[in-house]
Structure 1
Amino acid sequence: MNARQLILTGSICLISSLLLACGGASSTLNTQAPQVAGPTLRGTAAAGLAIVGAIVNVKCRSGNGATKTAIDGTFEISLPAGSSLPCVLETTNPGNSRTLHAIATSDGTINLTPLTEMLSTRLMLADMNKVFANPDFDTISKTATAGNIKAAQADVSAVLSGLLDTSSLSDFLSRPLKAATTANPGAGDTQDKMLDTLNLALANNLYQPLLNMLTKTTPGIMAFGRHGCVVMGEDGKSLSCSGPGLWETAARIDVFPAALILEPAGKQVITAKIDYLQNVEYIRQPVKWQVVEADGGSISSNGEYTAPSKAGIYHVRAQREDFPTLSATALVIVNTTSPGFVPTLSVAHHIVNVMPGGNIALKADINYPPNVEYLREPVSWSIVEAGAGEISLQGVYTAPTKSGVYHAKVQRDDFPSIYAVVEILVNYPPD
């Protein structure tokens, strides 16, 4: 081998030594990529109080996991390498044996609460116990989109309206939650206090019917009334459908008292009375309260009215949510010189049915001031429209022969500013 050949051979050996050692010995290059760790899911399990020492099970498209909640209800699960989302989580509250579920579409925070159970149920339109027992991850992936999750939360919020205001909680699933504990009951954050309210508002016999209702395409109340089949739609509006009306069980709403006098900033609970139709499940009274005048004070979801500081005449309206066209109004007089006695007046029904030419006895109830004697009940009845029938001093109404909608007014004689109006539907019942 000449010098030129030696130089060439050495150069080739030098270059190739990156892969193979000169002289025939070989080295193996490791081309396998490092394994990526699986997702980590962490959150809090709570239902008014932290759920302590409960097993949290997780099933994912690939890979499963389990852990136990800590004394503050927190948990963390690091899934095996190669695991992939989405995942379904489940735990059982030992306090009431209720299972709680959530669907995780990304790693990070995911809570387990009654609100996540309701949201997941609404999202999947299914019993979450069955979903967890046999998860179809293709269906879960297609269903659990950001838009669908947002819509499901809005539906749950609408169903809970009147029981719980969830407007301050933007994300039921992944907003960090600090739960109260038995050792520190005041430690809970705003979300935890919301769960406390929900726990108190939902009696044991209402929780499961609510979940069952959320599996339906339209979560709301279906009822049959004067106008036929009525469905409370997802948008909160009344949707009509086919079906016979039941004239005998026409939907009604009444408020008690129907009229009262209060001092400025005075308080009074106004009660709504409705007819609950048979074979209809109600999770709460389907009534929405509103003060008609913008400066007329305020009213809570349970009917507690607080008068404004300014004297005047105001109105409080109670509206049926299952029959949105039906409402009843209470008259409130705020008077700076009001005596300690608060006069009230109520009617048995704000809406009544009667056949043309028929009779019906209308009734009003009042309260009596202390140490005052009356020879008769100090109320007077009158008909609002001309040609709308007749009414006696005792409130017996005789309808005209012509069908229509008429009104009777009842007024206190001792407090003439206090009155109520009854709507009278004069018509023949359907065949």
Structure 2
Amino acid sequence: MRRPAKHVLLFILTFLILVMAGCGGGSAPTGSTAPHTISGVAATGAPITGTVYLKDAATREVSQTIAPDGSYSFDVTNLTAPFMLKATGTANGQSVTLYSEASGPGITNINPFSHLVLAQFDPAGAYDSATVSSMQNWGAAFNGALPALKTALQPVLSSYGVASVDFVHAPFTANHQGLDLLFDTVAITYGNNSLTMTDKSTGAVILSTPLSTSVSNWQFNMANVPRIGMQPMGTVFLYPVSTSVIAGGSVQFRGIIKGMTTPTVTWSVVEAGGGYINSSGLYTAPIVAGTYHVIATNPADPAQSSTATVRVIAKNYVNLQSDAGDYIGGGQNYSYTSSNAIITVTGSGGLLSVTVTGQQSWRGNFQESSSFSQLHTGTYSDVHRYPFYTPGLDWSGEGRGSNVLTGSFTIDRAVYVNGALTEVDANFEQHSEGAQPALRGQIHWTNLDTSTAPGPITPVPAELWQAASGATPATGNYIYLESEPGDYIGAGKAYTYTDTQVAVSAAGGHLSVNTVNSPDSWWGDFQTMNSITQLQPGYYDNLQRYPFNNPVEGGLSWSGNGRGCNTLTGWFVADNVTYSAGVLTSIDLRFEQHCEGGTPALHGQIHWAK
């Protein structure tokens, strides 16, 4: 029978206590600290901005704000050794929490390597649930594991000239030299009980191992260790050196000068119109897709610089061009982006599937060889209808599909990361029912495009309809309807309903309005775009009939007295909206609706307060 995990941990800790006793213990040097002080630096490639906590053997906890240079200091005169330390905050714009251990007063740094000593022992859980007995075990485990880790890390430490440096107990300065330079340039991450070390600039893996693997069996890929440790002072290290970003998006670059904290690097973009980078290294991509270059320069020695390549990728789109006489596209052209439609792309083996949900709805399938595990670039000519032929294609939508078809398609680009499709470019031509007119399409998709539709338009256009002065009640809740001659729903009449005749409810981005206690029965639905979760003041335009509307733009529907629209267009304006604890408490709304493509409009204005 397997022992419970806590018994295994106790066995490990007991073994380490015995090892430590046999080796004469593992007390830490005090350095230059005061006799009753624990001090050090909390850093990981940059000083940690945040808070450091110390918990003593009696589980008493104290804390303080970390100084700008990463330093901290605790007076432990009235506390009991050993001590657990936790630093939490941000460094280089990333959230970070690291742990360390102190057997007594002296220098104790908190950094990725101190954390690594404890990583296999679940430091977060041990700190949060510490007891008097577990504190003693924690200290023994740390001091027992530290020498072995120092030995295991020798290949990497030597590359930075710090083979003999005690990364926990020696004085430490965040100065882009030695050990700090190592933390600047090597990423150390944990996940799924594993440890990974990578070159920050290239992402090349230096070490990847389960935490359960003995440190004596770690295998480092020294070819992937950054060379900067052996380069002269003043050398610029830039990361990432190659990246992709969506058009108009941004990416954070980091640049350091070996051995120098001031001045910092200066930034520039090589190409005119290639985007903008600020003094902090935040790059904003241009709207035009292409390949651009960012340079980080040592201002004290401009000959020292480093260059990064940025591939700017266009936002997602699907474009369709239908010849006159083409049955599927109806002889129309269509253009979809993330701002006016939901574009979904999946790759499964040799099958590419595309769906578009916007003002219209479409679905396309492009089947390469069924034996493919991934999409391959190439052109497939004289193909027939999927799924009855391989290779095959099929594009359909708006209730129209082909019984038989011929055509061709091309996969221009297909990018995978860890087996998942992340980018694709494709185009096709389809002839339905043996006819000459064609439907042509272009598809571009990347998972980097996470943009959504903008919210309602503000300020609201002044020319939009609103009830004339005096047409609505001066006080109280009301629904006011004004139907133009020829409007089917309102039959060319005006209607007013007040107070107890008005019912309003809201859930998420949907508002429902209806009449009660009235001889007339009216129902109204007003739906926001899917990018917002509740009604916001503003103008919602280009709307279709709810609930069959384009989810990216929103919808509306007003019906009643036995009359409703099959199709409609229109808009609504939320002039005022208030919520309390997420519950709608008041709204002022007006709308315009055209039924069945007609010109006559139904207008409405609603005032409601809970």
- The TM-score bracket by the shorter chain reads 0.3 to 0.5
Between structures 1 and 2, the one with greater helix share: 1
More strand by share: 2
- TM-score, length-normalised on structure 2? 0.26
- Higher relative contact order at CA 8 Å, sep ≥6: structure 1 or structure 2? 1
